[in-house]
Chain A
Amino acid sequence: MSLSMYVFYNWLVFLWGGAGMLFIAVVSIREIIGQLGMRRNRTGQEE
């Protein structure tokens, strides 16, 4: 493996992992806010 290929490989993996984790972070935070909001509305309706 050449140096340039080694550098490219490391960058590729880091960007790939970074994109994957960022995607999950954004989606899951939105979902948690949604879940807590839904629960609050349901509790309010029951009262």
Chain B
Amino acid sequence: MSTAAAGYLIFCVFGAVLLFIAWFLNKRFPLDSVDELVAAGRRVPFGIISASVFTAWVWTGTIMGASEAGIWFGVSGGFNYGWGAIVPFVIFIPVALRLRKVMPRTTTFIEFIRERFGERLANLFFAFGVALVLYVCVMQSVGIAYAFQYAFGMNYKLVAFVSAVLFAGYIAVAGLRGSIFNSVFQFLVIMLVVFITVPLLIREIGLENMYNGLLDAQSNPANPNYNPEALNFFGAAGLRYGFSAVVVAMGQVLLSQGYYSTAASAANSRSLMWAYLVGTILAWLPIPIIFGNVVGGGVFALRVTPEELAVSTGAAPYIFSHFLGSYGAAAFVILIFMAGLTTGGNGLAGVQAMFTIDFYKKYINRQAEEKEQTRFGKRVTLLAGIIIGLCAMLLDGVSLLKLDIFSGILFAAPTAALIIGLWSPRLHTRAAFASIFLGLAAGLAAYFAISDDDINWFVGNMLSLGVPFLLILLSLPFSTSRFDFGKLKRYQPEHRVKM
């Protein structure tokens, strides 16, 4: 079998399995209401949610970006990527629990923003939320296409487009339940691949060779990967990267409706909390550390430079195929495929919820029945998949990590208003608006005005997240506004919610 044929076979087999699962779920659990479509009936148990959260947060960037961090920062790279990406979930968990407590019938965070701050701010958050998901899903399709192109020589544009349509397809067919249950299958595949390939890689490279490579990189200026902090777990550059990862991930978690939908689908608050804790800290956090260490260690052991790799995010597939041959390359592609599809699916489940609940009945058909709402939600999901696919086709050759860092500046600014607005009755709508615009302006200004490329991204990210928090906290003592959270408890959405 030719290399490309093997790649197409892998793509088609896994794609068929996922679509079959979605079709089966649709038969077993008919989507006869909005709540079934967007919240999976609100009775999904703890383990399934854990698997879904884990896989939704394993992005193509988790594998490739963490690997790249392992090369840039040495032994601390994967760890800094990991803790930076976990902090937003540690914040998300109390946010989701608080939302469930004060507004039990909500599904989308847009509903909360609308009731808390009004229609205009809700529309702004809606725009941010949709833009974020489209961006994230495009990144996943790009990552999948890179992987298949690198390993099998498949056509980048074709894979980018079809993968987007694939994850849009199974969400359109089976809704959030399709995302969650498919995630369990994909979780098992990811687990198998990691359990098999990582020990083999470590055996082939050798932990001692990895260590010696890092040691040489740390002490030998002639080493192509020379980095005096290569073996320093607390190196300054790595820590800066970790703090930036917090900012980048903050918006990606707190503005991504998919995580709120998954949280809403939990059978109760206790299982929600444990599912998110287990799925992220216990199971997810080791993944970027492992890939940072193993891929980074492999690159240091071989003394390969990023310039020698086709694209700097090509380190992970390079190491897999170099040490494990064609089977390693295939395993890596399967890993990236599963990671990208789950994240894309989770994101589009969120977009589906947002358009079904926050858009259709408000702006298109005020008299809509739930059947019409669900039909609209499914069509928008497919349309979003096509748009994502087309955008991903245009991004051949672009570094994923650089896009990720810039996105932090764009999407971190609204998070302060959302978080503080959930707890403080004093936060006024005008202050929330101002914080978002000023945070965004500060972040962008710093990024473009600071000429040093080593720190402009860091300062820009810090300002985008920090300025809104500072502004809001400074404004609270002077605020005469007193929001009545009791209104949220009495909130009734326009569709039936089974409690």
Q: Which A residues are within 8 Å of any B CB, using their own CB?
A: 1, 3, 6-7, 9-10, 13-14, 16-32, 34-36, 39
Q: A6-B207, A21-B194, A36-B28 are in contact. Are A1 and B233 (CB under 8 A)?
A: yes
- Residues on the B chain within 8 Å of A13, using CB: 286, 289-290, 293
Query: Which chain B residues have a beta carbon within 8 Å of chain A's beta carbons?
Result: 28-29, 45-48, 50-51, 54, 75, 181, 184, 187-188, 191, 194-195, 198-199, 202, 207-208, 210-211, 214, 231-233, 278-279, 282-287, 289-290, 293
Which residues of chain B are near A27, meaning CB under 8 Å? 46-47, 50
- Residue in B50, B184, B286 whose CB lies within 8 Å of A16: B286
**List of A residues within 8 angstroms of B293 by Cβ:** 9-10, 13
Residues of A within 8 A of B194 (CB): 17, 21
Q: In the complex, A28→B286 CA distance in Å? A: 20
Do B187 and A14 touch across chains, with their CB atoms under 8 A apart?
no
The answer to whether residues A17 and B51 also contact, given A6-B211, A25-B187 and a CB cut-off of 8 A, is no
Contact of B48 with A28 in the complex, beta carbons under 8 Å: yes
Indicate which residue in A17, A25, A39 contacts B188 across the interface (CB closer than 8 Å).
A25
Q: How far is the CB of A19 from chain B (nearest CB, A)?
A: 8
Residues of A within 8 A of B46 (CB): 27, 31
- Given contacts A10-B202, A13-B290, is CB(A24)–CB(B51) below 8 Å? yes
How distant is the Cα of A21 from the Cα of B46 in the complex, in angstroms? 14
Q: How far is the CA of A3 from the CA of B207 in the complex (A)?
A: 9
How many A-B pairs fall under 8 Å by CB? 94
A39 contacts B202, C-beta separation under 8 Å: no
A sample of 22 cross-chain residue pairs with beta-carbon separation below 8 angstroms, ordered by A number, consists of A1-B231, A1-B233, A6-B207, A6-B210, A6-B211, A9-B75, A10-B293, A17-B194, A17-B287, A19-B282, A20-B283, A21-B191, A23-B283, A24-B187, A24-B279, A25-B188, A26-B47, A31-B45, A32-B181, A32-B184, A39-B28, A39-B29
Q: Is the CB–CB distance between B75 and A14 below 8 Å?
A: no
What secondary structure prevails in chain A residues at the interface with B? helix
Question: How close is B271's CB to chain A, nearest CB, in angstroms?
Answer: 10
Q: How far is the CB of A44 from chain B (nearest CB, A)?
A: 13
Residues in A with CB closer than 8 Å to B50 are 24, 27-28
Distance from B338 Cβ to chain A, minimum over Cβ atoms (Å): 13
* Known contacts A14-B198, A24-B54, A24-B279; A1 and B187 CB within 8 A of each other: no
- Taking a contact as CB atoms under 8 Å apart, the answer to whether B283 and A24 are in contact is yes
Q: Once bound together, how far apart are the Cα atoms of A46 and B207, in whole Å?
A: 59
Contact between A28 and B287, CB atoms less than 8 A apart:
no
**Alpha-carbon distance A42/B278, docked complex (angstroms):** 30
Q: How many whole Å from A16's CB to the nearest CB in chain B?
A: 5
Cβ-neighbour of B283 out of A6, A21, A26, A30 (below 8 A): A21
Chain A nearest CB, measured from B374 CB (Å): 20
- From B231, which residue of chain A is reached at the shortest CB distance? A1
A24 to chain B, nearest CB (A): 5
Q: Collect the chain B residues with CB atoms within 8 Å of residue A22's CB.
A: 191
* Complex Cα–Cα for A29 and B289 (A): 26
Point out the residue from B28, B278, B286 that lies within 8 Å of A23, measured CB to CB.
B278
Which B residues touch A9, using CB under 8 A? 75, 293
Shortest Cβ distance from B324 into chain A, in angstroms? 17
Interface residue from B28, B207, B278 paired with A20 (Cβ < 8 Å): B278
Taken together as a complex, chains A and B put the C-alpha atoms of A30 and B293 apart, in Å, by 33
Closest B residue to A3 by CB, please name it.
Answer: B211
List, in ascending order, chain B residues with CB within 8 A of A7's CB: 207, 211
Would you call A14 and B184 a contact (CB within 8 A)? no
In the bound complex, what is the Cα–Cα distance between A39 and B29 (angstroms)?
8
| Distance from B2 Cβ to chain A, minimum over Cβ atoms (Å) | 34
Contact between B47 and A30, CB atoms less than 8 A apart: yes
15 more A-B residue pairs beyond the given contacts A20-B282, A25-B191, with a C-beta to C-beta distance below 8 A:
A3-B211, A6-B231, A16-B285, A16-B286, A19-B282, A21-B195, A21-B283, A23-B278, A26-B47, A27-B50, A28-B48, A28-B51, A28-B187, A32-B184, A39-B29
Contact check, A14 vs B233: say whether CB atoms are below 8 A apart. no
Q: Which residue of A lies closest to B46 (CB)?
A: A27
One of A16, A23, A31 near B48 (C-beta < 8 A): A31
Q: Given contacts A21-B283, A35-B45, are A28 and B184 in contact (CB under 8 A)?
A: yes
CB distance from A3 to the nearest CB of B (A): 5
B-side contacts of A19, CB under 8 Å? 282
Can you name the residue of chain A whose Cβ is closest to the Cβ of B51?
A28
A3 to B202, CA, bound (A): 15
* Given A17-B287, A24-B51, A27-B46, residue A10 in contact with residue B207 (CB < 8 A): yes
Q: Which residue of chain B is the closest to A12 with respect to CB atoms?
A: B286
Which chain B residue has the least Cβ–Cβ distance from A17? B286
Q: A6-B75, A17-B286 are in contact. Are A31 and B47 (CB under 8 A)?
A: yes
Q: Are A1 and B195 closer than 8 Å at their CB atoms?
A: no
Establish whether residues B195 and A18, one from each chain, have CB atoms under 8 Å apart when the complex forms.
yes
Query: Which of A17, A24, A30 has most B Cβ within 10 Å?
Result: A24
- Select A24's contact among B195, B199, B211, B278, beta carbons within 8 Å: B278
